[in-house]
Amino acid sequence: MELSAKVVLITGASRGIGAACAAAFRKGGARLSLTARSQDLLRAVGGEDALLTAGDITDPAVRRRVVEGTIKRYGAIDVLVNNAGIGLYAPSWRAPMEDARALFELNVFAPLAMTQLVAPHMRQRRSGLIVNIGSIAGRMPLPWLSLYSATKYALGAMTEGLRMELRQDGIRTMIVCPGYVKTGFQDHVLAGKPPEQMRRSRKLAITAEACAEAVVKGAERDARTVVTPAIGWGLIALQRLFPVLMEWQLARIYENQEPER
């Protein structure tokens, strides 16, 4: 996809990967519609030219305002980037149901609802791209992030299903699976913290800017799946080829350095 003059709507755009995506798409000549909870942070990211909509993306009224406002201003939505998300470091067998529901509400149901609002418009125009920001945890379950992994597995399945559902309408989908990204993710989770070994690990560490660059390049080349950094493909392959070995290794990390109870 040629991104120049395209309209790109990004959720969770006030910081981290979302803010970096805004900068990367702007550099490619795209016109931006940005949404997040903080108006001040959005203003710092979006500058004077972007459409800014502050609000909680899990609120149906906010979602409608974002989509309707974008179409009113620009007349189109060419790319939807479902980036807003949150983590939860808690065992699935005892995680508070309130936290589990909040996790799925933001990580799964909000992207689904945004897609349902945007897809009819894209179908009318017979073009568009839906980008869902997943995680490598959506390709291999991580025991210290098991419910988060479940949300990202669901997001990946939804992305691949949408690709088949909307293919005849000229709409493409792309799932992005980053590894460890240097953002404030670990400081803004619903609860808990990762094992110390994971906090120290930098084997898969990339910057938000590097992740955003991979997103933009994936959009430009019509990619189906983006794994960044590329070494993540190796871990995914190991998980598929040697699942028992990978489960043993991940369980050992969890058992030896389990998050605080």
Is the pTM of the predicted complex or chain greater than 0.85?
yes
SS3 string, 180-222, reads CEECCHHHCCCCCCCCHHHHHCCCCCEEHHHHHHHHHHHHHCC
User: In sequence order, which ranges of the chain are alpha helices (DSSP H)?
Assistant: 16-27, 39-46, 60-74, 97-104, 110-125, 146-166, 196-200, 208-220, 231-241, 243-256
* Structural domains of the chain in order of their starting residue, each with its CATH number: 7-256 (3.40.50.720)
CA distances from 79 to 127, 144, 195, 197, 254 (A): 9, 33, 36, 37, 38
Per-residue pLDDT of the chain (261 residues; tens, 9 = 90+): 999 999 999 999 999 999 999 999 999 999 999 999 999 999 999 988 999 999 999 999 999 999 999 999 999 999 999 999 999 999 999 999 999 999 999 999 999 999 999 999 999 999 999 999 999 999 999 998 999 999 999 999 999 999 999 999 999 999 999 988 887 777 778 887 766 665 555 555 899 999 999 999 999 999 999 999 998 999 899 999 999 998 898 888 888 764 444
List, by residue number, the catalytic residues.
148
